[in-house]
């Protein structure tokens, strides 16, 4: 099996956070989705990311606050999983609760093996 990284963008966290009941229901969907992947032996790991951070750029290693971009473009979290093919990883991604929102995006990328 190959490893894939699913990057999550968009969603509607601002609205969900205003309602504890909606937030809890949404988070339960995430737990069920990831729990199913774990039961299948396909979940490697997953974590949400804070919006705040730093960006290091170029050969001079200039550090700035960031990342600053539209909310729908910012990576809000990730999940690493196992799948036989990119197509299977895409099918896995279709169960992601972030896709309940019109601006929800899941980017699916194969993790290449590093030969050392």
List, for residues 84-112, the tens digit of each pLDDT value. Answer: 999 999 999 999 999 999 999 999 999 99
**Residue 72 within any structural domain of the chain:** yes
**Residue 85 within any structural domain of the chain:** yes
- Count of the separate structural domains present in the chain: 1
Listed in sequence order, the residues at least 6 apart from 39 whose beta carbon sits closer than 8 Å to its beta carbon are none
List, for residues 38-84, the tens digit of each pLDDT value. Answer: 999 999 999 999 888 898 999 999 999 877 666 667 888 999 999 99
**Residue 106 within any structural domain of the chain:** yes
Domain carrying residue 26: 2-110
Whole-model pTM: value is 0.87
What stretch of H or E contains 5?
strand 2-9
DSSP string, 24-80: HHHHHHHHHHHHHHHHTT-EEEEEE--S-EEEEETTTTEEEEE--S-TTTSEEEEEE
Measured CA to CA, the distance from residue 110 to residue 116 in angstroms comes to 18
CATH number at residue 95: 3.30.70.1060
């Amino acid at each position: 099996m190959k490893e894939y990284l699913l990057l999550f963008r968009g969603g509607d966290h601002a609205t969900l956070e205003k309602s504890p009941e909606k937030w809890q229901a949404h988070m339960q969907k995430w737990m069920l989705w990831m729990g199913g992947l774990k039961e299948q032996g396909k979940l490697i790991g997953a974590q949400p990311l804070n919006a705040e951070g730093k960006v290091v750029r170029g050969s001079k290693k200039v550090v700035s606050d960031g990342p600053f971009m539209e909310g729908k473009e910012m990576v809000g979290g990730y999940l690493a999983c196992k799948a036989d093919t990119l197509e299977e990883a895409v099918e896995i991604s279709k169960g992601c609760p972030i896709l309940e929102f019109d601006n929800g995006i899941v980017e699916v990328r194969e993790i290449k093996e590093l030969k050392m």
